[in-house]
Structures are given as C-alpha cells and as structure tokens.
Amino acid sequence: MGAILDSIPLKMTDLDEIYLIDSFPIPMCQEIRHGRVNLLRDAGAYFGKGTKGWFFGFKLHVLSTRSGQIVGAVLLPTSYDDRAGARRLASLMAEGSLAIADLGYRGKTFQLEMYEEEGVLFLTRADITSQRLKILHSTIRERVEGIFSSLSERFATRVYSRSWHGLWNTLKLKMLDYKLCFAKLISYV
C-alpha cells in the first residue's frame, strides 16, 4: 500500500521548498469508553490531548506542500511529542527547506538541531514578531487544516482496525484516496 501511495506523482510546480507539517488525532474509541478501552494499548495507543479535548489513540503526522499535496506521513502514539514526528518526516524535505508548523514544534534547541542535521528551518507562530507575518503564517497553515478536514470527510477519524498494521493500512488507503482526488485521477463525491 505504501508503494502505491508513494507512486502518485507530485506536480513539480508545487515543490517550492516550503512545506507544512502538523499532527491529527486518530481516536480508537469514543470518549465514553476511555475508562475501559484496551484496543491497541500494546501497540502504543495512549491518552493524548488535541484541540477538541482528550482522546485515546494515535497521532497522524502529515507533511504536505503549500498546495495541499501529501508528501509523507507517520503514525505515532499520542505519548510522543509532535517534534518526534517532525524528526521522522524531515528527511523527506530538501535541504534548505522551510517547514511551517504550529506551536507543537517550537523550541530553539529542536529548531537548531533540525537545521544542523537536516538543513530544514522550522517556523512557528512563536518565532514571528511582526503581526503581518503572523497573519501570513496562519493563512499558509490553513492548507494543512484543509487536508485534515478532507481526511476527516473520508472517515479518517472512524477507524475500526484491530491491529496497528490494520490501522496504518487503513489510513494509507484514505491518504491514497485523497492523493488520487488531488491529482484529479478520480473524483470525490
């Protein structure tokens, strides 16, 4: 499945060395079942906090271009910091690239480490002092939120897998559907 997902061509005009990175919660159960859920706990599922509150599951970290094409993704337990996902996805970015990220990726030590190891500069809202640049940062980041809402429409939040590999393959299928629609090879109704 991963080979098929990687084989969808990226438009060369969209590769401009500016990338978007963010994480998306993948809950394994509804909130009412948090006290007794054990599904995939051995595989790393744990409690994490997202923008909509606490959930039990994993986080999907996605790297995309400014136009919205998914370049890469990694599925990690919620107990991992967002910066751990960034470290794994940084090798997909060209040296000298700029990664526009949210506040989960801030930290001078992390940013310096990523620049020295991968040659990638991470820019968060906390790093910007100008109000006009903060607005521009938010405008560019809206694209990654659009990707997540599109994946959510494809039921990425309702995954009924019983194993980590089943979960990962299901999410790769959803991303494959997204990439095929984005490349206009199929249409989404």
Quick one: pLDDT at residue 127? Answer: 82
The pLDDT value recorded for residue 155 is: 63
Q: Which of the pair, 89 or 170, is modelled with greater confidence?
A: 89
Distances (CA, A) of 178 to 17, 48, 97, 99, 153: 22, 26, 24, 21, 10
The pLDDT assigned to 139 comes to 78
| pLDDT at position 12 | 45
Residues 54-101 pLDDT 10s: 777 788 888 888 877 888 889 888 888 888 888 899 888 888 888 888
Judging by DSSP bridges, how do beta strands 98-100 and 121-123 pair with one another?
A: parallel
Domain layout of the chain by residue ranges: 2-178
Cross-strand bridge partners of residue 21: 63
Please tell me the pTM assigned to this model.
0.77
pLDDT digits (tens, 9 = 90+) for 101-120: 888 888 888 888 888 888 88
pLDDT digits (tens, 9 = 90+) for 6-39: 555 555 445 568 888 888 888 776 665 555 566 6
pLDDT band at 50 (very low <50, low <70, confident <90, very high): low
The superfamily (CATH) of domain 2-178 is: Ribonuclease H-like superfamily/Ribonuclease H (3.30.420.10)
48, 54 contact by CB (below 8 A):
yes
Residue 17: Cβ-neighbour burial (10 angstroms; 0-12, 13-18, 19+): middle
Q: How does residue 1 score in pLDDT terms, banded at 50, 70 and 90? A: very low
